[in-house]
Amino acid sequence: MAKRVKAKLGFPGHIESVEIELPPGEPAPWDADSKLAVIGKDATRHDALAKVTGKARYTTDIKRPGMLYARVLRAAHAAAEVQQIDVAKAKKLAGVKGVVVLPVRNARFVGQPLAAIAATSEDVAARALALCKVSYKTRPFVVQLDDAMKAAAPAVHAGGAGASAGAGKSANIRKSKSRRRGDVAKGLRAAKHKVEATFRTQVVLHSSLEPHGIVVDYKDGKADVWCSTQATFAVRDEIAKALEIPVARVRVHAEYVGGGFGSKFHAGTHGLLAAKLSRQTGAPVRLCLDREEEQTATGNRPDSLQRLTLGADARGQLSAMKTVSYGTGGIAGGAGTASPLYNLYDCKSKAAVEHDVYTNAGPAAPFRAPGHPQGAFALEQAIDMLAERAGVDPIAFRINNDKNPVRQAELRRGAERIGWDARRNKKAGGGAKLGAHGELRRGIGVANGLWYNTGRARGEIHVKLHHDGMVEVISGGQDIGTGARTLLAMVVAEELGLSPSAIRTHIGDTSGPYAPGSGGSTTTPTMSPAARKAGYRARLRLEALARKVLGLGDDAALVFADGKVQSKDGGKQISFKKLCARLPEQTMTFSGPRAPNYKAYRETTAGVQLAEVEVDIETGVVRVVKIVAVQDAGRLLNPLTARSQVNGAVLQGMSMALFEERVMDSQQGHVTNANLEQYKIAGAVDVPEIDVQLFDVYNGSNSTGALGLGEPPIVATPGAIANAVYNAIGARVMALPITPARVLAALAAAKKGGAR
Amino acid sequence: MTDTLYYQPKSVDEALQIKAELGAEGTFLAGGTDVVVGIRKGKLKVARTIDLSQVPGLDGIRRHDGFLEIGAMTTHKALEQHDVPAALAQSCETVGGPQIRYLGTVGGQIGTASPAGDVSVALIALKADVELRSAARGTRRLPLDEVFVGPGKTVIADDEMVTRVFVPLGRRSDFYKIGKRDAVAISLVMAAASVGPAGDVAIAIGCVAPVPLRIKRAEALLDARGLSDEAVDEAATIAREDCSPISDHRGGADYRRAMAGTLTKRLLSRLREVTPVKAKPAESSAEVA
């Protein structure tokens, strides 16, 4: 039965009483008035010790009796007709046990899987690969965005399904999404101040510490699968399909996952090959990719070319915003970057047109806030340019043009934390000359972020009460490093008045209840309310029992705290353990299906970042001194792991801003830096001071009030750094990464063109 | 990995004997930070490996007769912790990460002959000599910058090994590196310079030519005219002119060429200042032979 409750929602200083209609059987959401013992307090990850001592077993650590080792044969050409794959010699090599050849007619990128070989060791499998002979008929190919957009460019999907060219147009361009509201042309005509600018961002690679890997053990029509994945159930379904067996006959294990960032939603071609090899050989097959394969073929963040046009009236109110973007994710994958422009800022007239451009490179995969750090890099610089033309302070400009009260409050807090008014250069490039020879300049910049998800009504959690007082929380989903395992225990601990460490969580095993894949920052807002629901149901059962045991009336209120259950006045009590001993069954399982969302205070997450940088104007080297990251994500369940998420996102964003870039060889068509030696990620000494300002917003969209936090904190980082660089040197770097050479070129251009 | 034959000599004489027999087939293995990685990647074809780790007397640092004598098997870490000229200490500190610095050796770096060799650039700018030894001809000593002829190519004969490096004492020096990031990064471009007691200048730049490049034309100009603003500017111009950088995934040729000038100017300006550039104090004397 639906029930109406009042909840105090919002954030300190902006608390509103909101009426919420609860779906049947749901607990009232934790709100601003809730007094919580566990939630909102730092809890160490339950798996921290296992991880740092090496006890945690990742897919790459799995060994099965009689296990075979598989390697993938990959295409050597960026575009070619595959005429023959001759594996006869490889099959004859001693130790080779199985070969699966894919029906590939056209190779479209260097590194595309063609076949796989299972052998008694990695070494034998590698030698067998060398014995395979592939006959190609090569074709012209294209690996760079600009080349692929030319009318005469070779069609990447020639000889197969794909784009077909109109006259005088590249066959590789696909308009993917077009959104508009209002009248942009009119808004621009009305504008007193205008900015037109072109920005570029690079291809970035996920570079998860644990490369993609799988072990498939298929026997008697059943498969056990260990997979480094962020979607255990999707992998289950894909493997079942490949082996032509019911999904219930496949069990996927992913107890520990060494990062995914969006690249691990599927079993992948290598996963399906491993499954087929296991069926063919009757033995367990391990197929773990090496770093070169990981950096070539398992996903990327597409690059972008973004043309932005913004207009504002004389008072600095936005009158029109427009972006037209192009980007390549290789042979497949969306490259759109327009969402920040379309979703940030109150402006009546907006147009956002996105295009995907095909190139002969590995396919894109979702990557931590897909499209958003790229889009915000362009948008937030353009906003600063417009604010400067309108003569308005960048933070004031943002507040004037964005009614979101959370983001406004976050901007104010961020400004205070970084010393915006006192320490930012009033004139860009006009700061003190620092360093031994006056070669250093400091600057401060800001950028907005945003994210959307409030979780979904999918999946469930089981809570098991045992007669000895042991509580287990079970999910078939996965923890890809965000701390989900610990959060689920915390939520149930809160509900039952226990310490989180008293609860054992089982995760990453599809014999447990269904959980959706970890994407879109939905895991915590989807799974934590399900955990609360299961814990709440267990509690209702225990309450009924406790009233009977303690001789209380049917309506008597009970308090669950410190491992005890007591009457409200404290007069009567029983330990949690003893109460469990009185349960009618040895073990009782309570299911918590995720209910539809309640009414939310806000549907979106905000988040702002401010950066301070130091630039050497002679060498162009940029050092990020400090990042202030003010971030909300509904109610923050575990501040310790929340800070970890923000730290990680800021580092990944900074690394994207300054260092990372996949480089393709235009002549040979391959990735030239498919490793971590030449594909440089920020290291320990590059890490700036990160001031994480967690910003609780009591959201009410679900029973825990949590929103997701994995993606939002990376959105603003590159834009904030770029704006700080401008404030330091008075010249804009319009492309990522902000390399020393680009900084010097921007300085030279600014000198030539006079002050902007 | 291809199979290789492996030797483990117990003395310098034995090592030289083996090397003389194997000639170009034999590759010395010092710290292994280049050789082992190269073999594993299949980039280095090594038929025979001669491991020097069990040869006594090849490491150690001592002051003798106005020179710092550094044994070829001395690690970057040992140099970093020792009282050595500033440019040398700084170059050692920036090589790879700690793990690489505990393994990698001075002799190994010279043998690898990379134009991106940080320590080689520092040593050239310190006017260091290198001692080469063979079983047949004994030892010879020549300026380090004359050793390198191309990427991975040196004048070291097939039967020779690097035994010692001689660094003249009393030179003020400095080193500057621009990497893709701040640690465990091969240089994008780097340079070192020094000034001797008599005012003579030496400059070397890495990653801007096929070899660690000594800018002799600029040195001659500065020796004649001193470190005046104009002379320093001219030296920087010469550095830009005399290098021949390439573009790769770490950076572009134009940027490297520009930095050849910028770093030359920066280093010379620093050396001109009265305060001597301080070397790190010795942390232990254990390495002193």
The domain B172-272: what is its CATH number? 3.30.390.50
| Chain A residues within 8 A of B114 when measuring between CB atoms | none
Strand partners, A193: A312
> Of A696, A562, A687, A698, which Cα lies nearest the Cα of A639?
A696
State the smallest CA–CA distance between residue A575 and chain B in angstroms. 54
Give the mean pLDDT of B261-275.
87
Contacts of A262 (CB under 8 A, 6+ apart): A206, A230, A299, A365, A366, A367, A368, A370, A519
Q: Do A437 and B269 touch (CB under 8 A)?
A: yes
Whether the CB-CB separation of A324 and A122 falls below 8 Å is answered with: no
Q: Do A680 and B188 touch (CB under 8 A)?
A: no
* HSE, side-chain direction, 13 A CA sphere, residue A411: 24
Give the mean pLDDT of A719-731.
98
Residue B280 confidence class, pLDDT cut points 50, 70, 90 = very low
- What confidence score (pLDDT) does residue A92 get? 98
A666 interfaces chain B, CB cutoff of 8 Å: no
Whether the CB-CB separation of B247 and B259 falls below 8 Å is answered with: no
pLDDT digits (tens, 9 = 90+) for A200-226: 999 999 999 999 999 999 999 999 999
Sign of the CA dihedral with A566 first, then A570, A572, and A574 last:
positive
- What confidence score (pLDDT) does residue A754 get? 60
State the smallest CA–CA distance between residue B275 and chain A in angstroms. 13
Whole-number Å distance between alpha carbons of A749 and A737: 18
- Written as six digits, the tokens of A185 are 């042309």
SS3 annotation, B165-233: EEEECCCEEEEEEEECCCCCCCEEEEEEEEECCCCCEEEEEECCCCCCEECHHHHHHHHHHCCCHHHHH
Using left for φ > 0, alpha for ψ between -120 and 50, and beta otherwise, residue A299 falls in left
Query: What single-letter amino acid sits at B223?
Result: D
State the smallest CA–CA distance between residue A120 and chain B in angstroms. 17
SS3 annotation, A549-596: HHCCCCCCCEEEECCEEEECCCCCEEEHHHHHHCCCCCEEEEEEECCC
User: How many C-beta atoms lie closer than 10 Å to residue B228's C-beta?
Assistant: 11
Question: Does A60-140+207-297 carry CATH code 3.30.365.10?
Answer: yes
Q: Is omega for the bond preceding B143 within 30 degrees of 0, making it cis?
A: no
| DSSP letter (8 states) at residue B25 | G
- What confidence score (pLDDT) does residue A168 get? 73
Give the mean pLDDT of A49-54.
96
Whether the CB-CB separation of A301 and A367 falls below 8 Å is answered with: yes
B40 interfaces chain A, CB cutoff of 8 Å: no
Whether pLDDT at B104 is above 70:
yes
Query: What single-letter amino acid sits at A258?
Result: G
Indicate the domain borders of chain B.
1-56, 172-272
Whether the CB-CB separation of A514 and A233 falls below 8 Å is answered with: yes
pLDDT digits (tens, 9 = 90+) for A118-140: 999 999 999 999 999 999 999 99
| Chain A residues within 8 A of B249 when measuring between CB atoms | 663, 672-673, 678
| Chain B residues within 8 A of A740 when measuring between CB atoms | 178, 188, 251, 255
Whether pLDDT at B2 is above 60:
no
Whether the CB-CB separation of A304 and A327 falls below 8 Å is answered with: yes
State the smallest CA–CA distance between residue B113 and chain A in angstroms. 19
Partner residue facing A740 (CB), from B178, B184, B266: B178
* Optimal mutation site among A292, A618, A668, A738, interface B, most CBs of chain B within 10 A: A618
**Architecture label for domain A455-593:** 2-Layer Sandwich (3.30)
Partner residue facing B262 (CB), from A618, A673, A680: A618
Q: Do B188 and A740 touch (CB under 8 A)?
A: yes
Whether pLDDT at B186 is above 80:
no
Give the mean pLDDT of A321-348.
96
| Chain B residues within 8 A of A684 when measuring between CB atoms | 183
The domain B1-56: what is its CATH number? 3.30.43.10
Contacts of B13 (CB under 8 A, 6+ apart): B135
- What confidence score (pLDDT) does residue B3 get? 56
Phi (first) and psi of residue A499, to 5 degrees: -85, 140
- What confidence score (pLDDT) does residue B40 get? 83
Give the mean pLDDT of A604-612.
96
Strand partners, B251: B248
- What confidence score (pLDDT) does residue B179 get? 82
- How much helix, strand and coil, in percent to the nearest 5, is found in chain A? 30, 25, 45
pLDDT digits (tens, 9 = 90+) for B45-67: 888 999 999 999 999 999 999 99
Q: Do B266 and A744 touch (CB under 8 A)?
A: no
Which residue carries 């001693």 as its tokens? A94
Q: Do A680 and B180 touch (CB under 8 A)?
A: yes
Whether pLDDT at B287 is above 60:
no
| DSSP letter (8 states) at residue A706 | B
Percent of chain B with pLDDT over 90: 80
Which residue carries 């327009």 as its tokens? A338
Query: What single-letter amino acid sits at A15?
Result: I
Q: Do B180 and A437 touch (CB under 8 A)?
A: no
B86 interfaces chain A, CB cutoff of 8 Å: no
Give the mean pLDDT of B238-249.
92
Whole-number Å distance between alpha carbons of A272 and A287: 10
Q: Do A682 and B181 touch (CB under 8 A)?
A: yes
Give the mean pLDDT of A408-424.
98
pLDDT digits (tens, 9 = 90+) for A485-518: 999 999 999 999 999 999 999 999 999 999 999 9
Three-class SS of residue A632?
Answer: strand
- What confidence score (pLDDT) does residue A199 get? 98
Task: Give the CA dihedral B28, B29, B33, B36, nearest 10 degrees.
Answer: 100
State the smallest CA–CA distance between residue B265 and chain A in angstroms. 10
Mean pLDDT of the residues in chain A: 95
State the smallest CA–CA distance between residue B13 and chain A in angstroms. 37
User: 182-211 in B: which are within 8 Å (CB) of A?
Assistant: 182-185, 188
A122 interfaces chain B, CB cutoff of 8 Å: no
> Of A120, A297, A218, which Cα lies nearest the Cα of A226?
A218
Percent of chain A with pLDDT over 90: 94
Indicate the domain borders of chain A.
60-140+207-297, 414-454+599-756, 455-593
Using left for φ > 0, alpha for ψ between -120 and 50, and beta otherwise, residue A628 falls in beta
User: 435-474 in A: which are within 8 Å (CB) of B?
Assistant: 436-437, 439
Buried b (16+ CB within 10 A) or exposed e, A698-737: bbbbbbbbbbbbbbbbbbbbbbbbbbbbbbbbbbbbbbbb
Which residue carries 């600057």 as its tokens? A443
pLDDT digits (tens, 9 = 90+) for A545-592: 999 999 999 999 999 999 999 999 989 999 999 999 999 999 999 999
ipTM of the complex: 0.88
Question: Does A414-454+599-756 carry CATH code 3.40.50.300?
Answer: no
Partner residue facing B259 (CB), from A436, A619, A658: A619
Whether pLDDT at A538 is above 90:
yes
